[in-house]
Amino acid sequence: MDPLSDVLSLLKPRSYISAGLNAGGDWSLVFPAHEGIKFNAVMRGACWVSVEGVPEAQRLEEGDCFLLTRGRPFILTTDLTLEPVDSHRIYDAAQDGVATCNDGGDFFLVGGRFAFAGDHVDMLFGALPPIVHVRESSSHASVLRWSLNEFASELGKGELGGVLIVEHLAHIMLVQALRLYLTSSADGGVGWFFALSDHQIGDAVRAMHADPAHRWTLEELGRLAGMSRTTFAQKFKQRVGTTAMDYLTRWRMLIAGDRLRNSRENVASIAFSLGYESESAFSMAFKRTMACSPRQYQRQHAI
């Protein structure tokens, strides 16, 4: 798999569908803090979104979507001067998967929330801003628009298999929104996520993900990236925010943590499969990265 698919597989995202919002006239709703990542898309009309801690509100037009990555409270409104109403007053009365405000008709929004079972969600979302705004005008947005239309069509139908279809569409929308944001913000961020857009550094990251057990050296990774050892080491840290060897160790430990939780493999078997010559060397690396021993981790996450 590619690095983004690798990480999402470990995090095991599960979507929880929110009610759609059908609003009319002028309105303002405040939404409470939430767990996980929220995804919303404007299917009709326009509004403003204001996220706690973000200095400026952003204008959402028809076809735009946005991810809320930090779980902060936020406001959706047609007029930033209006006093917002608690969203529960509208959403608690939702019917057939749709909440109605002011009799609806002018504005329609669909969305949901992603919860993650895996650890270290910050590996993917830590470098992202509190709100990721993907505009309808973005290039290569056709897959996202198709997904949104299908998502809106399925919402509230109640047909056989509809829940599964909507969940898969939600995953498609999450990945596509991340892709589009990465394309539009490739030069502006530091972190693993942004490094994937750098052809040279991205090649090295993909190689480590493809074969994490290999005893990678800076020389090897530098050759893959078309750089000298020293230049590669400097650029990797600038783009990713950590050294290449630290990144490799962390990725190995995330794989190990997933296998400790979800398989019957013993610690020694996992250690050797990830390139460690001894269980003790692996256990030391695991404890440095995960703040506990492999066996403690396994006990903590026992089902």
- Eight-state DSSP code of residue 95: B
- The confidence score (pLDDT) of residue 296 equals 93
- The confidence score (pLDDT) of residue 155 equals 64
8 Å CB contact between 76 and 48 = yes
Q: Please, what sign has the CA dihedral across residues 232, 238, 239, 241?
A: positive
Neighbouring C-beta atoms of residue 114, cutoff 10 Å: 22
Higher pLDDT, 153 or 235: 235
Work out the angle at residue 194's Cα, subtended by the Cα atoms of residues 210 and 111, and round it to the nearest 5 degrees: 100
Domain limits, the chain: 3-184, 193-300
- The confidence score (pLDDT) of residue 99 equals 93
111-160: pLDDT as tens digits? 888 887 766 677 667 778 899 888 876 655 666 667 777 776 776 666 77
Q: At what angle do helices 218-225 and 229-240 cross, to 10 degrees?
A: 80
Higher pLDDT, 193 or 184: 193
Q: Is residue 175 over pLDDT 70?
A: yes
Higher pLDDT, 281 or 298: 281
Q: Is residue 6 over pLDDT 90?
A: no
- The confidence score (pLDDT) of residue 143 equals 66
Q: DSSP per residue over 134-153, as a string?
A: E-TT-TT-HHHHHHHHHHHH
In 3D space, the residue among 88, 97, 99, 113 whose CA is nearest the CA of residue 35 turns out to be 113
Averaged pLDDT, 286-298? 92
39-53: pLDDT as tens digits? 888 989 999 999 999
Neighbouring C-beta atoms of residue 302, cutoff 10 Å: 8
Distance CA(284)–CA(58), nearest Å, equals: 46
Q: Is residue 303 over pLDDT 60?
A: no
Which CATH number describes the domain made up of 3-184?
2.60.120.280
Share of the chain above pLDDT 90, in %: 50
Superfamily of domain 193-300: Homeodomain-like (1.10.10.60)
Write the burial class of residue 127 (CB in 10 Å: 0-12 exposed, 13-18 middle, 19+ buried). middle
Neighbouring C-beta atoms of residue 118, cutoff 10 Å: 19
Please state which of the ranges 75-84, 162-171, 182-191, 291-300 shows the lowest mean pLDDT. Answer: 182-191
Distance CA(2)–CA(186), nearest Å, equals: 17
- Of the pLDDT bands very low, low, confident and very high (cuts 50, 70, 90), residue 191 is confident
Averaged pLDDT, 170-192? 73
- Of the pLDDT bands very low, low, confident and very high (cuts 50, 70, 90), residue 184 is low
